[in-house]
Each structure stands twice: as C-alpha cells, then as structure tokens.
C-alpha cells in the first residue's frame, strides 16, 4: 500500500513534543502530545549537578527500559526521534513542566507499543500503557525533585496525548484511535471531507478534565479513550494538538479543512503540501501545534489532490464568508447587545456631556461641518446672538425663581435653620411677606422641639442596634470556629476514605492471587475498622453542620444532641451566642418601637401645617426677600443661599448656548435625530469620543449587512460541524 507521511512542529522550545510518525507497507503509528502551558507553566530550575550528564539522567529517569530491552526493529529511527525530544531539555535553559511532560509521556507511549508489538484494540494494553506512562512521570519527578508551581491549579508534567494505529485490511483501512485531553485525530475522506475521530475531554467550562500528569497516591488516574474505525483504503489520517484548530473557533474544523485543502491545492507534491501547511496555518499567539500525517492508497500526489478538488472552493468560500461575518452573529442571534442599542443607550446616559460638546463646537467654529451641529443648533445660536439682552433679563428672572425654590426647599427639609435664617427688619411696614415669615419662624421653633425627642430615641435605637450587631459578630466568630472544625474533620474523613479505598483494592488483588488467601482476613478486619471510623467522622461532621443551621435560624428551641466529647465546647458556645443575640434583638425591637412613637408624635405635631406655611411663600411673595435679603434674612443665611444675586450682563457665552440646547433637546425626538445623523455620517464628530469606537464603527457597519445571508452562512457552518462529527458509519 503506497503511503506518504510527515510530521512537523515549529518551535524548538515548544511545549508540544516532536510528533511521532512511523509508517510501513500496511500499518503505521501517528502520535502527538501537547504539554499544557497553563497548568504546567511552572519552570523547573535544575541544580548544576543535575546538568552534569543530564541527557543520560533523563534517559534513565523516563526511558530506562529502552537501554535494558532495545527495540527489535526501528531502533535507530526511534533513537534519533528520542534524541530530538531530549534536545530542548538538555540545553541548560530552564524548561516548563509542560515541555518535559509532553516528551516523557509521548516517548513512553510510543516505546510501549513498539516494544511489545501491542495493539490499541487490546483493552489490557490500553490499561497497562497508562500505568507504564505514570511510572515514567513519577520516576522523572523523583529523579529531579520536581514540584508544581504555587499558583492554584498548577500540575506537574501535564500533557494531552492522541495517537492513531492503522492497518490495511483488504479495501479498507482500520484506524484505532486513543486519546486523553483535547488533542485530536482526524480522517480526510474523498467525497466526504474531514471527519473528527476523537472527542475532546473537556467539561462544560471548556477545561480539560482528562490528561496525563505526575500524580500523588490516590489521585484520579488518566482514562485512555478508544475508538475504532473502518475507512476507505484511499484516505488520509492525521493527529494534531489544539494549536491547529483553536485559532478558528467557533468554526474550528471548518478552518482545519480550509487550511488543509488550500495547502493541498497549491502544491505539486507531498513535500510542497507539507511546506504549505507548515507555513500557512494560523497559530494562536500563545500556542503552536504539532501534526503527524499519513495518506494511503493514492498512486500520485495529483491523485491525492484531485480526490478533494471538488471541496476546495466550497469549503474555502464558506469558511471565508463565516470569518468575515461571524462578528455580527451574536447581534443577529440576540446573544449580544445590538451596537445600535448601545449607542442610543449611551447617548441617553451621556446626554449632558454630548450637548456640552455640541455647544462648544458650534460656539467656537461658526462654519463647522460636524454632523452633530445640525441646522437647528445653528439657528438656536443665531437667535441667542440677536436676543442677548432679553436673554440676560430672562436669566436673572430664572435665577430668582430658582432661589425662591431653593429657600422653600431648605425651609421644608430643615425647619431647625429657620430661627437663625429669618430676621425681619422691625422697621419694615406690616406686609404679607413679613407676616408670613414671622409666622413660619414661630411654628418652626415649635416643631423643632418635637424633632429633638426623635433624635434622643434614635440615639437609643442606634445603641441597641450596635449591641445586636456585636452579638451577631460574636456568634459569627463561633460559627467560623465550627466551620474550621468541620474542615478538619473532612480532611480526616478524606484520609480514612483513601485508606478504605486502598484496602478494597488490596482485597481485590488478594482474591485474584490464590497464594495469598491467608491475608484476606486481616485486610477484611482492617476494612471494617476504618469503615466504622469513617462513619463516626461522617456523623460528627453532620452534627456540626446541624449546629451551624441552628445558629443560622437563631433558634432557642431545645434539642438533644449526641455529640463527640471533644465537640462539646462548640455546642455550648453556639447556644450562648444564640441566647445573647436574641436578647439584643429584643432590645433593638423595643427601641425601634420607641422611635416610631416619637416620629409619629413629630409628624402629628407638624402635620401639613408647616409645609403649608412654607408653600404660602410663593415666588410672587418671596421674590422681594431674594432681591433685598438684608431686610428679611440673616447675613449668614443670605450668604449660604448665594444672595444677593448679580444681575446678568447682556452677553452671550458657551454656557448660554448649552442651556438653550438643553431646552431644545428636552424633546427626545430632536435629540435622537442628532444621534441618527452622527451614526449615518461618515464625517467625524466631536461627540464620538464619548462612545466606544469599536461599537460605533460596528453600529455604522451593521446597517449595511444582510442579516439573512449571515444567518444562512451560520446554518451552513452548523451543518458542516455536524458532518465533521458524523463518524458512526465508520465505527467498527
């Protein structure tokens, strides 16, 4: 069977291992391992002594079996490949744990299956190779005293693995696939295109949940996934790390096939295909990829290329169309905010700033072409210039009305200030204004005494609240101690559980070993003992958790507990904390009732009469006091309220224009018309700095996008994704 194969990766210090490619007349092996750069990012600093004969020590640590039992065939090729794996590990540059992990795992995996002539389809071999790999990881860890980093989630020598073992059977290729992690295996089938043969080991968050790494005793072991396929004799197989497909997410497999077909179509032979693929795939900035590839049954490269020529244009057009428009999909699908909604919502929130910028631009540049300076804005400015005098008088009157409003507001909300504020000149003739001010001052004094009673009761309430809070904090401290106790017991529980699980495994091993029956009784007795200890610890944890529930409910209801003697102090302290809290709470509730009574008394005394007396000081009456504050108010109060007012000069400034535009744009339709004009214009505007530039550009762009076309492209991509995953008819 004619086979063409190759493998590559780009970086010498790549955390992917150099891929393994071994092909023969009718069978072969392709394998890739990708060190996890995130969880394996800790750098192993070796001692100077470690660097002495480092290569020899590495071989002894993770592949000592090869020196004891060399491969019968292909020893030289395997040795050269291992030399390549060791090169970046032996250059005296500190390496990441991920870089070492991928090389240890891949070399031991390949050696196992070559040395034993084992098949992936053999369940025992799949189980045994995991043990074999773990042994090498742990030997490497111990030989160099390696440890994971201190950052949460760091692992020691973590890596993914994927491999294909294939053989020819008649007119078919049988491909057995094994993997752990998110590195993938693919088939490229004439008339079908790309098919994904593995399934990523990821949880719902996208985190890898099955991988190789050096583990402590009792940690969850790696599961080597397995699937087997019967494929047409003419096809191609390859394995790769996630650096190949991740850059094209969420259309990853479509991107993979597009890159493959483009590289294939632009080459005249397999060497050219490999070169194109190597140079033209788009690695993520933080990652690279490794690839092992083999094509079978094609008489020539032209035969291989022609077998897929009909898909090139269709796949590339779909991929290019999706890449060009995918940024609009979240909006069209309702998954993200429409940028137009953002622009108009932002315009509503920043209206004051937007109007201010429009006023500045219009005032400073009479002939501005800014789309936000509409003809209506320009007309408003022209009107103001022609009516500056009238505008000044209007401004003065507006300020007087504003001061009247401020004075009434101050009197309503702070009747205690009235006595010091109102000082009517005794020489003034009796008038409606003088009588209303004097009457208000008398009534304010009367109400102020009632307000004093409220303050006294509120002070008592505040103290009671502090006592209750202090009681709660004391109880929370006890709760924290109980939680610490629970955590300690849970550690004990996990420790005992590990012992129980270990005893179960030992019992299983003993049953399988007919010569060790005499030990079964001992392990059975130990198992019963530790099971009892586990149940007792579990009961103590449950009792302590019920104690926490009692604190959360603040219940005084008596309840009999059967607790461990060493836990007794916690039960006593929780009961005391509950009693202290409930006593403080009752005192607080009593104080709160007293405050309510005092407030009702104040409200009853004040009623609506005081507010009526303030409201009686209408603008028409009170404006006289604003114009001549020395006759009616104390000097301090007049200064506090900004009196007397300065008369407005008949001049025009930027602030005047802004105030007029505020009035103009109080009409929401007029304001939104300005935003419409800015969005529709290709000319820059002074208000654009108040918006996210990316969203503003997207808002302008998305209006010209055919929504139905983009959704149609998504539908086609979704169908392609389903096709890439449809491998059921090829499974054995």
**Which residues are bridge partners to 188 per DSSP?**
194, 236
**622 found inside a domain:** no
Q: Do 298 and 444 fall into the same domain?
A: no
The pLDDT-based confidence of 515 (bands split at 50, 70, 90) is very low
Helix (H) or strand (E) run with residue 153 in it: none
Q: How far apart are CA 207 and CA 184, in angstroms?
A: 15
CB 451 within 8 A of CB 415: yes
Element (H, E) at 21: strand 20-23
Structure tokens at 314: 């269709």
> pLDDT grade, residue 282 (50/70/90)?
low
In the listed set 606, 622, 657, which residue is the last one of a domain according to the structure? 606
* 280 compared with 298, residue with greater pLDDT: 298
CA–CA gap between residue 445 and residue 10 (Å, rounded): 87
The answer to whether position 711 is within a domain reads no
pLDDT (tens digit per residue) in 177-195: 999 999 999 999 999 999 9
Name the pLDDT band for 526 (thresholds 50, 70, 90).
confident
CATH number at 88 reads: 3.60.40.10
Does some domain include residue 478? yes
> Is 344 inside a domain boundary?
no
Q: Specify the DSSP class assigned to residue 212.
A: B
Cβ atoms of 422 and 641 within 8 Å: the answer is no
Query: What is the pLDDT of the chain when averaged over all its residues?
Result: 85
**Long-range contacts made by residues 325-330, C-beta under 8 angstroms, separation at least 24?**
325/705, 325/709, 325/710, 325/713, 326/250, 326/251, 327/698, 328/698, 328/702, 328/705, 328/707, 328/710, 329/710, 329/711, 329/714
pLDDT digits (tens, 9 = 90+) for 63-91: 888 777 777 666 778 888 998 888 888 88
CA 570 vs. chain centroid, Å, equals 39
Dump the DSSP string for 179-204.
EESS-EEEEEETTTEEEE-S---B-T
CA distances for 383 relative to 376, 660, 702, angstroms = 11, 10, 38
Give the rounded distance of the alpha carbon of 500 from its chain centre: 38
The 10 Å CB-count burial string (b at 16+, else e) for 490-507 is eeebeebbebbebbeebb
Residue 316 has a pLDDT of 93
Domain annotation covers residue 569? yes
Give the torsion through C-alpha atoms of 626, 631, 633, 639, to 10 deg. Answer: 70
Residue closest to 691 by CA, chosen among 348, 349, 343, 339: 343
What SS3 state is found at 664?
helix
337 vs 60, residue with greater confidence? 60
Range of the domain at 88: 3-307
Within a domain: residue 78?
A: yes
CA distance 631 to 623: 12
Place of tokens 């009517």: 424
Residue 409 to residue 404: CA distance in whole angstroms: 9
Please give the average per-residue pLDDT across 415-437, as a whole number: 87
Whether residue 409 is predicted with pLDDT greater than 80 in this model: the reply is yes
pLDDT of the residue at 160: 96
Whose structure tokens read 């640590």? 61
pLDDT tens digits, one per residue of 637-684 = 999 999 998 876 667 778 888 988 999 999 999 999 999 898 888 888
Q: What is the pLDDT of residue 464?
A: 80
- The arithmetic mean of pLDDT across residues 554-579, rounded, is 74
Domain boundary among 287, 307, 327: 307
Residue-wise pLDDT tens digits, 323-350:
888 888 888 888 877 888 888 889 999 9
* Burial of 204 (C-beta count, 10 Å sphere; 0-12/13-18/19+): exposed
CA-nearest of 675, 668, 713 to 691 is: 675
| pLDDT value at residue 285 | 46
Q: What are phi and psi of 128, to 5 degrees?
A: -70, -35
Tokens of 643: 């009196």
Q: Is the pLDDT confidence value at 405 over 90?
A: yes
Count how many domains the chain has.
2
Q: Which H or E run includes 83?
A: helix 75-86
In a domain, 648, yes or no: no
CA pair distance 341, 335, nearest whole angstrom: 13
Domain boundary among 569, 586, 606: 606
Encoded tokens for 654:
């930027």
What average pLDDT does this structure show over 24-48? 88
Task: Write down the pLDDT at residue 728.
Answer: 93
SS3 label, residue 220 = coil
Report yes or no on 74 lying in a domain: yes
Say which range, 41-55, 117-131, 280-294, 654-668, has the weakest mean pLDDT: 280-294
Q: Does 271 sit behind a cis peptide bond, omega within 30 degrees of 0 on the bond before it?
A: no
Place of tokens 């795992």: 105
Q: Please return the burial class of 682, using the count of CB atoms within 10 Å of its CB with bins 0-12, 13-18 and 19+.
A: exposed
User: Could you give the C-alpha distances from 699 to 342, 479, 704, in angstroms and in order?
Assistant: 9, 53, 10
- Ranking 355-364, 370-379, 531-540 by mean pLDDT, the lowest is 531-540
Using only C-alpha atoms, the chain has a radius of gyration, in whole angstroms, of 41
Evaluate the CA torsion angle 566, 571, 576, 577 in order and state its sign: positive
């Amino acid at each position: 069977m004619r086979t063409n194969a190759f493998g590559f990766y780009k970086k010498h210090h790549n955390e992917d291992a150099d891929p393994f490619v071994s092909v023969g007349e009718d069978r072969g092996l392709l394998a890739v391992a990708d060190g996890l750069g995130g969880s394996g990012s800790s750098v192993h600093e070796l001692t100077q002594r470690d660097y002495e004969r480092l290569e020899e020590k590495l071989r002894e640590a993770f592949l000592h079996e090869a020196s004891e039992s060399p491969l019968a065939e292909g020893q030289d090729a395997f040795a050269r490949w291992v030399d390549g794996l060791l090169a970046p590990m032996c250059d005296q540059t500190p390496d990441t744990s991920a870089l070492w992990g991928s090389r240890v795992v891949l070399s031991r995996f390949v050696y196992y299956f070559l040395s034993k002539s084992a098949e992936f389809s053999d369940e025992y071999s799949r189980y045994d190779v995991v043990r074999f790999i773990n042994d090498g990881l742990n030997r490497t860890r111990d030989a160099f005293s390696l440890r994971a980093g201190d950052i949460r989630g760091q692992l020691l020598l973590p890596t993914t693995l994927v491999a294909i073992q294939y053989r020819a059977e008649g007119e078919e290729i049988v491909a057995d696939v094994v993997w752990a992690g998110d590195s993938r295996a693919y088939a490229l089938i004439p008339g079908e295109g790309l098919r994904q043969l593995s399934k990523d080991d990821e949880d719902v968050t996208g985190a890898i949940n099955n991988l190789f790494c050096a583990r402590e005793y009792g940690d969850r072991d790696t599961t080597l996934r397995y699937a087997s396929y019967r494929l047409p004799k003419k096809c191609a197989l390859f394995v790769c790390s996630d650096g190949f497909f991740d850059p094209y997410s969420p259309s990853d497999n479509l991107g993979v096939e597009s890159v493959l077909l483009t590289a294939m179509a632009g080459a005249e032979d397999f060497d050219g295909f490999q070169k194109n693929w190597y140079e033209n795939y788009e690695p993520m900035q933080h990652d690279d990829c490794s690839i092992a590839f083999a094509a079978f049954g094609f008489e020539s490269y032209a035969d291989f290329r022609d077998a897929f020529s009909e898909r090139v244009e269709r796949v590339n057009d779909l991929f290019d169309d999706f890449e060009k428009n995918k940024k609009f999909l979240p909006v069209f699908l309702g998954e993200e905010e429409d940028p137009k909604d953002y622009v108009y919502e932002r315009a509503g929130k920043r209206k004051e700033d937007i109007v201010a910028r429009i006023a500045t631009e219009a005032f400073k540049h009479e002939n501005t072409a800014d789309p936000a300076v509409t003809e209506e804005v320009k007309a408003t400015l022209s009107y103001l210039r022609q009516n500056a005098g009238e505008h000044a008088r209007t401004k003065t009157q507006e300020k007087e009305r504003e001061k009247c409003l401020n004075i009434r507001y101050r009197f309503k909300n702070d009747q205690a200030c009235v006595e010091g504020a109102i000082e009517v000149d005794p020489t003034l003739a009796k008038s409606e204004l003088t009588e209303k001010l004097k009457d208000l001052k008398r009534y304010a004094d009367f109400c102020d005494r009632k307000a004093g009673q409220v303050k006294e009761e509120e002070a008592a309430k505040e103290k009671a609240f502090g006592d209750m809070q202090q009681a709660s904090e004391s109880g929370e401290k006890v709760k924290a101690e109980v939680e610490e106790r629970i955590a300690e017991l849970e550690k004990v529980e996990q420790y005992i559980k590990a012992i129980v699980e270990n005893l179960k495994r030992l019992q299983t091993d003993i049953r399988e070993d007919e010569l060790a029956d005499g030990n079964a009784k001992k392990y059975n007795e130990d198992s019963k003992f530790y099971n009892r200890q586990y149940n007792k610890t579990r009961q103590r944890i449950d009792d302590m958790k019920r104690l926490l529930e009692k604190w959360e409910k603040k219940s005084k209801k008596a309840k009999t507990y059967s607790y461990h003697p060493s836990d007794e102090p916690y039960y006593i302290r929780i009961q005391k904390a509950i009693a202290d809290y409930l006593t403080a709470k009752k005192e607080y509730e009593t104080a709160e009732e007293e405050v309510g009574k005092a407030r009702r008394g104040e409200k009853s005394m004040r009623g609506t009469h005081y507010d009526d007396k303030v409201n009686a000081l209408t603008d028409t009456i009170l404006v006289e006091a604003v114009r001549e504050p020395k006759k009616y108010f104390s000097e301090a109060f007049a200064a506090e309220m900004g009196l007397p007012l300065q008369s407005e000069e008949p001049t025009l400034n930027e602030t005047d224009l802004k105030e007029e535009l505020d009035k103009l744009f109080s009409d929401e339709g007029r304001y939104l018309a300005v935003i419409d004009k800015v969005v529709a214009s290709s000319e820059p505007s002074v208000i654009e700095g108040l918006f996210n530039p990316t969203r503003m550009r997207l808002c302008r762009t998305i209006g010209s996008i055919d929504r139905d076309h983009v959704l149609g492209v998504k539908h086609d991509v979704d169908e392609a994704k389903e096709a890439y995953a449809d491998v059921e008819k090829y499974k054995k």
